[in-house]
């Protein structure tokens, strides 16, 4: 009687462990799919792939401009902010080009190097942009990214999804997938050993 209870408890434990392993594998596949349709297209679409050094030529704050209204957004999302324009000398080619913060900055407003997030306090936005401009004037040389193919003549300060960020995004689902497969393999080995010992 005790032996049957032990066998039943063992089978229940194996079933739960097997379900856990299959659940981890399923969740990891869903994460792979989510990353594949969200982050990977942005990474592959970016043409600013080569890092070089940029030297600031001028950083000016123009008059206030309106944040362009993106498709599907509401009218109240349009707000005025000072337009910071940063021009740099590209070390790789020696050209004078305009610097943008990220790829999204160019798409949001190609006239400005920095586009602030939506904020109701215009004083904070103005102070932030003035601080960014002073930092550019203080640190004249810094790494930036340009398009080696020449499709885009401008440069960006940082990529939204660099290679390290993409690898980090795939790290957690990979660990979960590996852990799930390991649990399944261990359960199968345990079942095989149990059957082998019972047969002997």
For 98-134, how does the pLDDT look when each residue is reduced to its tens digit (9 = 90+)?
999 998 888 888 888 998 877 667 788 888 888 998 8
Beta bridge partners of 98: 87
Residue 147 has φ and ψ, to the nearest 5°, of -95, 110
pTM of the predicted model as reported, rounded to 2 decimal places: 0.69
Whether 11 shows a pLDDT value over 80: the answer reads no
Q: Is 170 exposed, middle or buried (0-12, 13-18, 19+ CB in 10 A)?
A: middle
Out of 9-13, 23-27, 164-168, least confident range: 9-13
- In total, the chain counts a number of residues equal to 200
% of the chain with per-residue pLDDT over 70: 84
Per-residue confidence (pLDDT) for residue 65, from 0 to 100:
63
**What is the band of 32 on the pLDDT scale with cuts at 50, 70, 90?**
very high
Sign, Cα dihedral of 85, 90, 93, 94: positive
* CA 176/CA 171 separation, integer angstroms: 9
Mean pLDDT of 74-98: 77
Task: Report the distance separating Cα 38 and Cα 59, nearest Å.
Answer: 34
Give yes or no for residue 27 having a pLDDT over 90: yes
> Could you tell me which residues are beta bridge partners of residue 96?
89
State the angle between helix axes of 163-199 and 2-45 in degrees (0 to 180), rounded to the nearest 10: 160
Question: What mean pLDDT comes out for the span 66-76?
Answer: 47
Are 119 and 125 in contact by the 8 Å Cβ rule? The answer is yes
* 65 contacts 123 by C-beta, under 8 angstroms: no
Please tell me the least confidently modeled range out of 2-11, 13-22, 38-47, 133-142: 2-11
Query: What is the pLDDT, as a whole number, of residue 71?
Result: 44
pLDDT at 177: 94
Closest CA to 156 of 46, 44, 40, 41: 46
Report residue 173 as tokens. Answer: 């689902």
> What average pLDDT does range 74-96 have in this prediction?
76
Q: Tokens 């001028």: give the residue.
A: 58
> Which one has a higher pLDDT value, 122 or 72?
122
Residue 162 predicted with pLDDT over 80: yes
């Amino acid at each position: 009687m005790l032996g049957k209870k032990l066998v039943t408890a063992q089978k229940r434990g194996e079933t739960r462990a097997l379900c856990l392993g299959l659940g981890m594998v399923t969740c990891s596949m869903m994460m792979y799919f989510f990353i594949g349709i969200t982050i990977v297209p942005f990474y592959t679409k970016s043409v600013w792939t080569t890092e070089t050094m940029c030297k600031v030529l001028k950083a000016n704050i123009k008059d206030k401009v309106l944040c362009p209204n993106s498709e599907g957004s509401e009218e109240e999302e349009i707000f005025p902010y000072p337009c910071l324009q940063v021009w740099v000398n590209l070390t790789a080619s020696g050209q004078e080009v305009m610097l943008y913060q990220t790829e999204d900055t160019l798409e949001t407003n190609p006239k400005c190097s920095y586009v602030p997030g939506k904020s109701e306090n215009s004083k904070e936005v103005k102070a932030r942009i003035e601080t960014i401009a002073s930092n550019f004037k203080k640190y004249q040389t810094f790494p930036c990214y340009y398009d080696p193919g020449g499709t885009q003549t401008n440069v960006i300060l940082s990529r939204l999804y660099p290679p390290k960020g993409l690898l980090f995004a795939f790290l957690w689902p990979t660990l979960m997938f590996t852990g799930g497969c390991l649990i399944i393999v261990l359960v199968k080995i345990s079942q095989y050993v149990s059957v082998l010992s019972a047969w002997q």
